[in-house]
């Protein structure tokens, strides 16, 4: 068993009354229940490692670690000053989990922080940050635990926001395939093994080009041009969308819609009613309202035979094979900069509550943070500015907020370490995961 490193910051003596209460575990004595809860979490995390092959000795971190200072314990009751306890342990070579329990005049706070050195020194182990989806279909959702187990992830945290229908809200690009488009120029995370990680605002455009012939001429694919509003989601009023096999294999047209079915860049059907098919080797354009009327007239005048779907993103983003849209931004160049207003987030997203975040430090290490909330006896949660401050304390220089609230979830080796505010894990469309990379040498 690998022991936890324990550090107390200006803390009272460790008694049951100092541990955040755990609801629904032992109603008669909540404080004792909390000790049992955290004890069970620690035991459950250690158990899988005890049975696993020994990991190489972790390399020392070159970036700032969570602040750990000690003070002599003093007698007292509920503190009016900040008191904090940190429990840290090595999960694998280059990966460390720290549990932070803090109390102040505003109440308790529970944080879970994972530091990932993607290329630890003196180790054959290499890690990569990946994007996991609940299923092939964009309309499917699953818990972070389920996705982490399916992908054999060492660490996992919930990803971006999602709509009521289940599809992700914001950019999703996975292994080079665009699945969803960015919205409102919001902050996104781009990453891959070659280029590392990048956090910034992302705006992209999608266009369908139609041509009269399958044979490219001097000016191919310029007969008709249609701007696309949505990808693998429904067309807005008087707008358009493109559906790929990620959406499904068919779509039922509404009265004000028409469809153009494309396979291998060739148009094989266009419909104004009924069921539109989505080819496994192509995509289908849906036009609604005035967009439908315009496209229908164009097809009546000069029926095209070929089509091409194109997504254009800034050059600085094209090099990333994986992109996840979320937001708002928390840190830029090591300074707190929250962008909730200019990115157009709703008030319920901005309220204090459970939070998830991801960031990178100057050394290129990835930091994942999950903060529990919505329980005044266990953890009050964080505001956006408080979340940004917590990431800054860790030495993070660039950071982005992920979906929060009941979606906040973090797992280590497929075991949930935090307590979702819904009382159980929420099913979400995607998650950020850390998995091993096979290498031939150090």
DSSP state of 305: -
pLDDT in tens, 407-419: 999 999 999 999 9
Length reported for the chain: 442
Whether the ω angle into residue 45 lies within 30 degrees of 0, i.e. cis, is no
* C-alpha to C-alpha distance for 355 and 158, rounded to whole angstroms: 10
Report the pLDDT value the prediction gives residue 5, as an integer from 0 to 100: 44
Provide the residue ranges of all domains of the chain, joining segments of one domain with +: 5-132+347-396, 205-309
Kindly provide the b/e burial profile for residues 27-61, where b requires at least 16 CB atoms within 10 angstroms of the residue's own CB: eeebbbbbbebbeebbeebbeebeeeeebeebeeb
pLDDT in tens, 243-282: 999 999 999 999 999 999 999 999 999 899 999 999 999 9
* C-alpha to C-alpha distance for 406 and 9, rounded to whole angstroms: 29
Give 105's pLDDT tier (boundaries 50, 70, 90): confident
Report the pLDDT value the prediction gives residue 61, as an integer from 0 to 100: 43
* C-alpha to C-alpha distance for 408 and 353, rounded to whole angstroms: 10
Q: Work out the angle at residue 140's Cα, subtended by the Cα atoms of residues 138 and 142, and round it to the nearest 5 degrees.
A: 125
- Contacting residues for 307 by C-beta, under 8 A, at least 6 apart: 208, 209, 210, 211, 221, 260, 262, 265, 266, 267, 285
- Stated pTM of the model: 0.82
Output helix, strand, coil percentages for the chain, rounded to the nearest 5: 15, 40, 45
Comparing 49-53, 398-402, 426-430, which segment has the lowest mean pLDDT? 49-53
Please report how many Cα atoms fall inside a 13 Å half-sphere around the Cα of residue 218, on the Cβ side: 0
Decide if pLDDT at 46 tops 70.
Answer: no
- Summarize the confidence of residues 16-39 as an average pLDDT: 38
Three-class SS state of 429: coil
Report the pLDDT value the prediction gives residue 146, as an integer from 0 to 100: 98
- Summarize the confidence of residues 68-87 as an average pLDDT: 59
Phi, then psi, of 406 in degrees rounded to 5:
-70, -10
Put the strands of the sheet holding 126-133 in their side by side order. Answer: 126-133, 430-437, 155-158, 410-412, 415-416
Fold classified for 205-309? Jelly Rolls (2.60.120)
pLDDT in tens, 82-91: 899 999 999 9
More confident residue, 320 or 42: 320
């Amino acid at each position: 068993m690998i022991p936890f490193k324990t550090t107390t910051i200006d803390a009272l003596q460790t008694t049951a009354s100092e541990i955040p209460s755990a609801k629904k575990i032992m109603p008669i004595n909540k404080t004792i229940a909390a000790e049992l809860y955290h004890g069970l979490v620690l035991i459950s995390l250690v158990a899988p490692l005890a049975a696993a092959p020994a990991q190489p000795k972790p390399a020392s971190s070159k970036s700032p670690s969570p602040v750990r200072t000690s003070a002599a314990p003093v007698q007292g009751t509920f503190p009016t000053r900040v008191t904090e306890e940190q429990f840290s342990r090595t999960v694998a070579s280059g990966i460390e989990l720290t549990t932070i329990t803090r109390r102040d005049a505003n109440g308790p706070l529970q944080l879970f922080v994972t530091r990932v050195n993607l290329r630890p020194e003196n180790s054959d182990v290499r890690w990569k940050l990946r994007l996991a989806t609940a299923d092939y279909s964009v309309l499917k959702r699953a818990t972070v635990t389920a996705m982490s187990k399916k992908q054999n992830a060492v660490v996992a945290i919930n990803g971006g926001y999602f709509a009521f229908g289940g599809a992700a809200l914001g950019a999703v690009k996975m292994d080079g395939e665009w699945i969803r488009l960015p919205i409102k120029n919001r902050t996104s995370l781009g990453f891959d093994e070659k280029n590392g990680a990048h956090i910034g605002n992302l705006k992209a455009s999608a266009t369908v080009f139609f041509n009269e012939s399958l044979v490219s001429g001097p000016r191919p694919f310029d007969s008709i041009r249609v701007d696309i509003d949505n990808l693998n989601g429904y067309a807005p009023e008087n707008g358009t969308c493109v559906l790929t096999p990620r959406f499904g294999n068919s779509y039922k047209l509404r009265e004000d819609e028409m469809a153009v079915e494309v396979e291998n860049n060739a148009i094989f059907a266009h419909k104004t009613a009924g069921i539109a098919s989505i080819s496994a080797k192509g995509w289908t354009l849906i036009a609604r309202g005035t967009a439908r009327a315009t496209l229908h007239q164009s097809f009546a005048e000069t029926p095209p035979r070929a089509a091409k779907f194109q997504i254009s993103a800034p050059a600085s983003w094209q090099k990333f094979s994986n992109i996840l849209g979320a937001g708002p931004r928390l840190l830029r160049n090591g300074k707190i900069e929250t962008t909730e207003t200019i990115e157009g987030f709703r008030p319920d997203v901005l309220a204090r509550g459970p939070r998830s975040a991801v960031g990178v430090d100057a050394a290129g290490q990835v930091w994942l943070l999950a903060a529990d909330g919505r329980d005044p006896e266990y953890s009050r949660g964080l505001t956006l500015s408080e979340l940004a401050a917590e990431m800054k304390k860790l030495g993070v220089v660039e950071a982005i907020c992920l979906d929060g609230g009941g979606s906040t979830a973090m797992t280590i080796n497929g075991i949930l370490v935090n307590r979702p505010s819904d009382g159980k894990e929420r099913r979400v469309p995607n998650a950020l995961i850390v998995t091993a990379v096979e290498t031939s040498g150090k």
